Chains A and B, each alone.
Chain A
Amino acid sequence: MTAQLVAPKERKVAQKRIALTGNHAVALAVKMARVEVIAAYPITPQTPVVERLAEYVNNGELDAEYIPVESEHSAMSAVIGASAMGARTFTETSSQGLYHMYENLPIAVGLRLPVVMGMAVRTISAPINVWGDYSDVMAMRELGWIIYVTQSAQEAFDTVIQAYRVAEDSRVHLPAVVAYDGFWTSHVLQPLDVPEDEEEVVRYAPITRSWVKLDVDNPAQLGAVGTPEWYWEIRWQAVEALRTSLKVIQEADEEYGKVFGRSYGILTPYRLEDAELAIVAYGSIFGIVKKVVDRLRREGVRSGALKLRVLRPWPGDMIKKLLEHVDKVAVIDRAINHGGPLYGPMAVEIAATIQKPVYNVLATIGMRAIDSDMIYDAAVKIHRGLWAPNTPYTVGLRGYE
């Protein structure tokens, strides 16, 4: 059985508008997806997600097992175990918590378990800083997880539901993470539309249980020793599945649009058609990036923007197509690639994709606030040739630019 069975075409379900923080929106999506096992450990800024889920379970609103584990290492371990048993699972983390579960992250990939994880992104120690940037999720890029980065509470809500459908698709069977800004999304009350009938969510993303499971009637060994004669072949299947998942992600998003009336695409371009200057960004700041584009357009600069929504699998062909005609591409990175060829992880990947130098802008590190004027200033400098490509520039850092 695969995931593509139930939802009829061209159907918009009844929805109601409510206000929730990003964290509570994610918790609601998890509840509506009728998750079966949740294992979680608190860490700022994701804690309200797991608190709300615990309330749902303890109030009887969600029939699930909630395991209040003793660490993130155990949270990931427990959802891997539960997923291996065939259950739909959820965990959520941030920052050091992700790093604490790190050794288990590639194991979920190798075992092909469709674990879905939320992440209210946060920077890393030291110095200790509980505020939001993308240092945590960027450290997952090499592991084989599907990585979504979302802009708002609504998008986080919708994407969690899509992630279950994609992860459990028999063409994929891979874990997926849905990231959203720590505090700027996780703690900000936002309006969002949610289906009135929760069953619609499970109809869109039914629990497939199509992956290889622990089954006493059909014993299988999960996680056997893979000698050099076998390891690469088995791992390569995960590589291929991740590549295939791009198509499934797109399908799931389009289908979501048909059922719920909202879809986001793999990437979100904004006024890019004739742009000579493009600003690539991700997460909640895309809203102010669009404002900057509009302002530059008013001043006669043909600018555009591109929002990255799916970091893994990397939609390279799409990015190339969207940016090939653009002269100057600036990438606003919200994590530091210490000592790398460029200092922003996405700047590196965009440069490698478009085979052109990019303007490497670092911003919001440790949640240092920026505004649209600061991005505007950076864009103007790039436009006027005051900044050189392939050089790291900072926005909002005292004493530098």
Chain B
Amino acid sequence: MKAAEEYPGLYEYANFELPQEELFLPGHGLCAGCTIGVIARHMLKVLGPDTIVVNPTGCAEVSTVVYPRTNWAVPWMHVAFGNGGSVASGIEAAIKVLKRRGVIDPNRKINVVVFAGDGGTADIGFQALSGMFERGHKVIYVMYDNEGYMNTGIQRSGTTPFGASATTAPAGRKVPGNVTHKKPMAAIAAAHGIPYVATANPAYVHDMVYKFKKAAEAEGPSFLHILQSCTPGWRFEPKYAIRVLELATETGYWVNYEIDHGEFRVTLPVPKRKPVKCFLELQGRFKHLKPEEVEAIQAVIDRDVEEINRIVGKEVIGPVDPSLPCITPRGAR
């Protein structure tokens, strides 16, 4: 509860009741161990029924809205892969003018949310996203990041981490998997000067739902970058879906933070980190890595953590403690 002392108000703000009502309905075709459903379900619990979802091409789209079935109890739209930002821009603009013309009740608050994967956001949809931010449309953009093109197989995307093996960046004898680093989407979004940007992790639901709420209350565009574990892509047993996400945060591989009107804060401090090898070991996509490559990844994380601590001005993410067990028993944290 260190965060509660450091950020008075934050946990009180996060402590609100979620409705019983389910707007993301059961019966979808997502993989066992996929956490897209966890994200979508909580997102709609926070945003409520007056929400329009724009869902560019991706895992969520193909596995939740196969005609004539749907898992969304709210209006939902798919147009193409690369245009979530611009379709949402059009919807938001239409709501504004239709309110002025009295077609829609002007007092009604309708959320427009883009629910897109990393390919549809960081790669093919990047331009539409940037345009939407720059023009200031009031849209909540949620990027579920499974770190690859998991809908079409397991191809690399702009957010695939260094060292991961993907089908278009396979671990070969000459090149050990993906050689580029994860595109810093939250930082890029924040650079547009939009009111609210945050990173989240479905393993920490309180933190995530609080960010959905903040995003909905922002007076302009908001961007949520949410890490999402992917069984076939990351290659772990489905029962570890949440565990692997916890390890992402516990190792400092993933840091939950928000940038609220330019104010940066880490919303989930980690006093002592586990070595990144704990996160990597659980997944098949990193199985090929040699110890020195794991060390290289650890070095990058150490550098990123140092940078975050420097920005915050104190040690919110602590040093690596090799004595920590990789798997902490439930309830012991």
Which of A's residues lie within 8 Å of B, judged by CB? Answer: 36-37, 39, 63-65, 67-71, 73-75, 77-87, 89, 103-104, 107, 111, 209, 214-216, 219-227, 230, 234
A78-B89 contact, Cβ under 8 Å, with A63-B101, A216-B51: yes
Q: Can you name 26 A-B residue pairings with CB atoms under 8 Å? A: A36-B101, A37-B90, A65-B97, A67-B90, A67-B93, A70-B134, A73-B86, A74-B83, A74-B86, A75-B86, A77-B128, A78-B93, A81-B88, A81-B91, A84-B91, A85-B90, A85-B94, A86-B94, A87-B93, A89-B94, A111-B79, A214-B52, A222-B77, A224-B78, A225-B62, A227-B66
Q: How far is the CA of A85 from the CA of B112 in the complex (A)?
A: 11
The 8 A-B residue pairs whose C-beta atoms are closest, nearest first, are A81-B90, A78-B90, A74-B86, A70-B131, A85-B94, A223-B78, A77-B83, A65-B93
Q: How far is the CA of A218 from the CA of B264 in the complex (A)?
A: 39
Q: How far is the CA of A363 from the CA of B134 in the complex (A)?
A: 44
Residue among A79, A84, A223 with the highest chain B CB neighbour number at 10 A: A223
Q: Does B61 sit within 8 A of A, measured CB to CB?
A: yes
Q: How far is the CA of A83 from the CA of B100 in the complex (A)?
A: 16
* CB contact between B86 and one of A78, A222, A230 (< 8 Å): that residue: A78
A69-B131 contact, Cβ under 8 Å, with A104-B80, A224-B70, A225-B66: yes
User: Binary interface profile of B, 61-100, with partner A (CB < 8 Å = 1, else 0)?
Assistant: 1100111101011111111101101111111011111101
Give 7 new A-B contacts, CB below 8 A, not counting A73-B83, A81-B87, A82-B93. A69-B131, A70-B131, A85-B94, A86-B98, A107-B79, A220-B75, A222-B77
* CB contact between B135 and one of A68, A81, A216 (< 8 Å): that residue: A68
- Within the complex, what minimum Cβ distance (angstroms) separates B290 from chain A? 41
Q: Do the beta carbons of B100 and A77 come within 8 Å of each other?
A: no
Q: Do the beta carbons of B94 and A87 come within 8 Å of each other?
A: yes
Q: Do the beta carbons of B98 and A85 come within 8 Å of each other?
A: yes
A216-B74 contact, Cβ under 8 Å, with A77-B90, A77-B128: yes
- Within the complex, what minimum Cβ distance (angstroms) separates B131 from chain A? 4
Look across to chain A and name the residue whose beta carbon is closest to the beta carbon of B68. Answer: A230
Q: Do the beta carbons of B86 and A81 come within 8 Å of each other?
A: yes
Q: Do the beta carbons of B67 and A36 come within 8 Å of each other?
A: no
Q: How far is the CA of A78 from the CA of B132 in the complex (A)?
A: 10
Q: How far is the CA of A220 from the CA of B89 in the complex (A)?
A: 19
Residue among B65, B90, B110 with the highest chain A CB neighbour number at 10 A: B90
Q: How far is the CA of A199 from the CA of B84 in the complex (A)?
A: 35
* CB contact between B83 and one of A67, A85, A104, A234 (< 8 Å): that residue: A104
Q: How far is the CA of A89 from the CA of B134 in the complex (A)?
A: 22
Residue among A39, A78, A227 with the highest chain B CB neighbour number at 10 A: A78
Which of B's residues lie within 8 Å of A, judged by CB? Answer: 49-52, 54, 61-62, 65-68, 70, 72-80, 82-83, 85-91, 93-98, 100-101, 103, 110, 127-128, 130-131, 134-135
Q: How far is the CA of A39 from the CA of B92 in the complex (A)?
A: 12
A80-B87 contact, Cβ under 8 Å, with A65-B94, A71-B131: yes
- Within the complex, what minimum Cβ distance (angstroms) separates B313 from chain A? 36
- Within the complex, what minimum Cβ distance (angstroms) separates B133 from chain A? 10
CB-defined contacts of A63 to chain B, threshold 8 Å: 97, 100-101
* CB contact between A81 and one of B61, B94, B101 (< 8 Å): that residue: B94
Q: Do the beta carbons of B75 and A215 come within 8 Å of each other?
A: yes
- Within the complex, what minimum Cβ distance (angstroms) separates A39 from chain B? 6
CB-defined contacts of A74 to chain B, threshold 8 Å: 83, 85-86, 89, 127-128, 131
- Within the complex, what minimum Cβ distance (angstroms) separates B129 from chain A? 10
Look across to chain B and name the residue whose beta carbon is closest to the beta carbon of A215. Answer: B75
Q: How far is the CA of A39 from the CA of B72 in the complex (A)?
A: 28
CB-defined contacts of A87 to chain B, threshold 8 Å: 93-94, 97-98
Look across to chain B and name the residue whose beta carbon is closest to the beta carbon of A75. Answer: B86
CB-defined contacts of A85 to chain B, threshold 8 Å: 52, 90-91, 94-95, 98
Q: Do the beta carbons of B98 and A36 come within 8 Å of each other?
A: yes
Look across to chain B and name the residue whose beta carbon is closest to the beta carbon of A101. Answer: B83
CB-defined contacts of A227 to chain B, threshold 8 Å: 66-67
A221-B80 contact, Cβ under 8 Å, with A77-B86, A77-B87, A87-B97: no
CB-defined contacts of A230 to chain B, threshold 8 Å: 67-68
CB-defined contacts of B73 to chain A, threshold 8 Å: 219
Q: Do the beta carbons of B97 and A37 come within 8 Å of each other?
A: yes
Q: How far is the CA of A80 from the CA of B91 in the complex (A)?
A: 8
Q: How far is the CA of A79 from the CA of B72 in the complex (A)?
A: 23
* CB contact between A84 and one of B77, B89, B127 (< 8 Å): that residue: B77
Q: How far is the CA of A399 from the CA of B19 in the complex (A)?
A: 77
Q: How far is the CA of A63 from the CA of B100 in the complex (A)?
A: 9
CB-defined contacts of A214 to chain B, threshold 8 Å: 52, 75, 77, 91
A39-B66 contact, Cβ under 8 Å, with A65-B96, A103-B80: no
- Within the complex, what minimum Cβ distance (angstroms) separates B121 from chain A? 15
A219-B94 contact, Cβ under 8 Å, with A107-B80, A224-B66: no
A37-B68 contact, Cβ under 8 Å, with A63-B101, A69-B89: no
Q: Do the beta carbons of B80 and A82 come within 8 Å of each other?
A: no
Q: How far is the CA of A230 from the CA of B73 in the complex (A)?
A: 21
- Within the complex, what minimum Cβ distance (angstroms) separates B116 from chain A? 13
Q: Do the beta carbons of B128 and A70 come within 8 Å of each other?
A: yes
Q: Do the beta carbons of A79 and B66 come within 8 Å of each other?
A: no
Q: Do the beta carbons of B128 and A219 come within 8 Å of each other?
A: no
CB-defined contacts of A67 to chain B, threshold 8 Å: 89-90, 93, 135
Q: How far is the CA of A206 from the CA of B103 in the complex (A)?
A: 14
Q: Do the beta carbons of B130 and A70 come within 8 Å of each other?
A: yes
Q: How far is the CA of A26 from the CA of B104 in the complex (A)?
A: 28
Q: How far is the CA of A39 from the CA of B83 in the complex (A)?
A: 14
Q: Do the beta carbons of B110 and A216 come within 8 Å of each other?
A: yes
Q: How far is the CA of A37 from the CA of B54 in the complex (A)?
A: 18
